[in-house]
């Protein structure tokens, strides 16, 4: 993951809702946006945020940070309790958030609008009250399923016309009709209106060492005239390029410690002579554990995670015995492979990191190792630090709570590198449209008067 904190552009301000363990918040911050407010409900996730950049405040005394160095103002509580009007004069540049995805996830009961965890209406309300210049919203690909198609189109219309409030006790279908009528009357360049673009993505296509299918919705205030189409991110990495890199040998130059028999087995399983596509190779789980693409002061470094000895699979044993070992990098017993429960392989991107202690059925956090004799099985569970690497969290980001809670925070997060791609693109699109952050405009006006 690119560590931009030492050379970050200062391009505006942001508000982060449903912050969780801080994946998207880090991404937006790394892109140069200064957080004016961070909100999260879950206790353990808030502990994680406070351990890193955030400071808790009550909803009546949330300050406006005066500088880039100020800690993130965190409101720990229900987003429904917040009013965002006080931010209107601050001219928020980006509102970001991933409303809880369980209502639309295959892993949940997928009740959609009927589920009380559906927080999309709170995003609509925040947009109306603070009128940000841009919005970045991430959610599960399940929103695009045919059964949710009408509701997804309703979400897009509600983001396009956030000033149209949903009447109490009305259905979303009735609100949908009201939105359609209001949009038909509203000028296309209205300052109340947003131009909304949903984009299905696979995080692996953007340099994340993980297959993670999501939908990212980006919106800009219509009066700003932002040319998003010219800056909309496209895939930068591909499976085809990875296969060619493995078969052609370039991949193994950064993994020279892999036994020859393992290399031969991997190469034999892949197709040969695929046409090149001029993209970079997908990053793999082996890359993540090795430290490929991690940076230190702008220079590539190899920060390989230490091995997890089989004798340390008893939970936390070696952490207690050796305080110098990373407390997020310890083993967990019981990993195995069976029908319907296939592990991650090292030379592909990891499976989707999901919320849970070890993962969920399907082997999402089980790794098949090069050493078939490891613990008598050749398998082990991914450590929390390894899962954090797969989510492109920096190694100095601390996660609070027991192991299961740490994994839950990671599974619910936005991969930092994926978020950065979109936050950077939004920043560039705003700059290209001549949209100045409030503080920069104030400095320019003062300079002009002087």
CATH architecture assignment, domain 12-235+414-449: 3-Layer(aba) Sandwich (3.40)
User: How are the residues of the chain apportioned to helix, strand and coil, as percentages rounded to the nearest 5?
Assistant: 40, 15, 45
CA distances from 392 to 40, 282, 289, 413 (A): 21, 14, 11, 10
Give the model's confidence band at 331: pLDDT under 50 very low, under 70 low, under 90 confident, else very high: confident
Mean of all residue pLDDT scores within the chain? 87
The DSSP letter of residue 224 is G
- The alpha carbon dihedral of 184, 143, 430, 133 has a sign of positive
CA distance 390 to 294: 12
- Looking only at the bridges linking them, the beta strands covering 237-238 and 280-281 are parallel
- Looking only at the bridges linking them, the beta strands covering 194-202 and 213-221 are antiparallel
Give the model's confidence band at 443: pLDDT under 50 very low, under 70 low, under 90 confident, else very high: low
Contact yes or no for 414/96 (Cβ under 8 A):
no
CA distance 138 to 233: 15
- The residue written with tokens 């609008």 in the block is 113
Give the model's confidence band at 332: pLDDT under 50 very low, under 70 low, under 90 confident, else very high: confident
Contact yes or no for 415/212 (Cβ under 8 A):
yes
199 - beta bridge partners? 216
Buried b (16+ CB within 10 A) or exposed e, 111-138: ebbeeeebbbbbbbbbbbbbbbbbbbbb
Neighbours of 151 (CB within 10 A): 18
Task: Give pLDDT tens digits for 211-267.
Answer: 999 999 999 999 999 999 999 999 999 999 999 999 999 999 999 999 999 999 999
- The residue written with tokens 């995670």 in the block is 305
Is residue 447 predicted with pLDDT exceeding 60?
Answer: no
User: Which runs of consecutive H residues, i.e. helices, occur in 343-433?
Assistant: 384-390, 403-411, 416-432
Average pLDDT in the 290-294 region?
78
Give the model's confidence band at 366: pLDDT under 50 very low, under 70 low, under 90 confident, else very high: very high
- Residue 110, by phi and psi: left (phi above 0), alpha (psi -120 to 50) or beta? left
0.85 surpassed by pTM: yes
Task: Give pLDDT tens digits for 159-171.
Answer: 999 999 999 888 8
- What pLDDT is stored for residue 145 in this prediction? 85
Is residue 323 predicted with pLDDT exceeding 80?
Answer: no
Give the model's confidence band at 449: pLDDT under 50 very low, under 70 low, under 90 confident, else very high: low
Buried b (16+ CB within 10 A) or exposed e, 376-389: ebbbbbbbbbbbbb
Of 228, 61, 255, the C-alpha closest to 134 is 228
- The alpha carbon dihedral of 47, 49, 55, 61 has a sign of negative
Q: Which long-range contacts (CB under 8 A, 24 or more apart) does 64-73 make?
A: 64/36, 64/90, 65/34, 65/35, 65/36, 68/10, 68/34, 70/34, 72/16, 72/25, 72/29, 72/35, 72/38, 73/35, 73/36, 73/37, 73/38
Give the model's confidence band at 440: pLDDT under 50 very low, under 70 low, under 90 confident, else very high: low
- What pLDDT is stored for residue 358 in this prediction? 44
CA distance 5 to 419: 15
Residues forming the active site: 101
- What pLDDT is stored for residue 110 in this prediction? 40
CA distance 81 to 239: 45
Of 81, 41, 37, the C-alpha closest to 57 is 37
CA distance 370 to 259: 8
- What pLDDT is stored for residue 446 in this prediction? 58
Average pLDDT in the 374-391 region?
94
CA distance 271 to 259: 21
Average pLDDT in the 346-356 region?
90
CATH 3.90.120 fits 273-411, yes or no: yes
Contact yes or no for 211/288 (Cβ under 8 A):
no
Is residue 359 predicted with pLDDT exceeding 60?
Answer: no
pLDDT above 70 covers what percent of the chain?
85
Buried b (16+ CB within 10 A) or exposed e, 393-405: bbbebbbbbebeb
Average pLDDT in the 185-213 region?
97
Give the model's confidence band at 361: pLDDT under 50 very low, under 70 low, under 90 confident, else very high: very low
- What pLDDT is stored for residue 439 in this prediction? 65
Contact yes or no for 33/427 (Cβ under 8 A):
yes
Those residues whose C-beta lies under 8 Å from the C-beta of residue 252, and which sit 6 or more positions away, are: 246, 258, 263
Task: Give pLDDT tens digits for 80-117.
Answer: 999 999 999 999 999 999 987 554 444 443 444 444 55
DSSP line for 105-161: -TTS---GGGSTT--HHHHHHHHHHH--SEEEEEEEGGGGSGGGHHHHHHHHHHHH-
Q: Which of 109-113, 189-193, 232-236, 288-292 has the lowest mean pLDDT?
A: 109-113
Give the model's confidence band at 142: pLDDT under 50 very low, under 70 low, under 90 confident, else very high: confident
């Amino acid at each position: 993951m690119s560590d931009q904190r030492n050379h970050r552009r200062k391009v505006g301000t942001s508000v982060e809702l449903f912050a969780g363990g801080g994946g998207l918040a880090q991404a937006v911050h790394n892109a140069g946006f200064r957080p004016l407010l961070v909100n999260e409900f879950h206790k353990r996730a808030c502990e994680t945020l406070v351990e890193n950049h955030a400071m808790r405040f009550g909803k009546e005394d949330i300050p406006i940070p005066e500088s880039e160095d100020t800690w993130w103002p965190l409101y720990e509580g229900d987003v429904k309790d917040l009013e965002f009007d006080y931010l209107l004069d601050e001219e928020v540049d980006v509102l970001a958030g991933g409303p809880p995805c369980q209502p639309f996830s295959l892993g949940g009961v997928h009740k959609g609008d009927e589920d009380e965890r559906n927080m999309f209406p709170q995003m609509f309300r925040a947009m109306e009250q603070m009128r940000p210049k841009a919005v970045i919203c991430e959610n599960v690909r399940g929103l695009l399923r045919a059964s949710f198609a009408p509701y997804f189109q309703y979400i897009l219309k509600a983001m396009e016309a956030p000033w149209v409030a949903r009447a109490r006790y009305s259905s979303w279908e009735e609100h949908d009709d009201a939105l359609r009528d209001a949009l038909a009357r509203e000028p296309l360049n209205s300052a109340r209106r947003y131009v909304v673009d949903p984009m299905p993505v696979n995080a692996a296509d953007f340099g994340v060492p993980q297959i993670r299918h999501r939908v990212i919705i980006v919106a800009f205030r219509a009066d700003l005239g932002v040319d998003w189409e010219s800056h909309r991110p496209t895939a930068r990495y591909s499976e085809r390029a990875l296969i060619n890199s493995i078969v052609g040998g370039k991949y193994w130059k950064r993994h020279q410690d892999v036994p020859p028999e393992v290399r031969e087995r991997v190469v034999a399983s892949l197709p040969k002579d695929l046409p090149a596509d001029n993209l970079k190779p997908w990053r793999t789980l082996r890359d993540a554990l090795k430290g490929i693409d991690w940076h230190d002061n702008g220079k590539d470094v190899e920060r390989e995670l230490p091995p997890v000895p089989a004798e340390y699979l008893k939970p936390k044993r070696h952490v207690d015995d050796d305080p110098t070992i990373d407390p997020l990098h310890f083993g967990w017993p019981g990993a195995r492979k069976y029908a319907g429960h296939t592990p991650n392989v090292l030379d592909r991107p990891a499976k989707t990191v999901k919320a849970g202690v070890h993962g969920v059925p399907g082997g999402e956090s089980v790794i098949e190792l090069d050493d078939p004799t490891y613990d008598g099985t050749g398998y082990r569970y991914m450590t929390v630090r390894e899962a954090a690497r797969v989510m492109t969290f920096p190694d100095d980001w601390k996660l609070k709570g027991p192991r299961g809670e740490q994994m839950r925070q990671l599974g619910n997060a936005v991969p930092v590198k994926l978020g950065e791609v979109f936050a950077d693109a939004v920043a560039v699109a705003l700059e290209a449209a001549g949209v100045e952050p409030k503080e920069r405009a104030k400095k320019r006006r003062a300079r002009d008067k002087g």
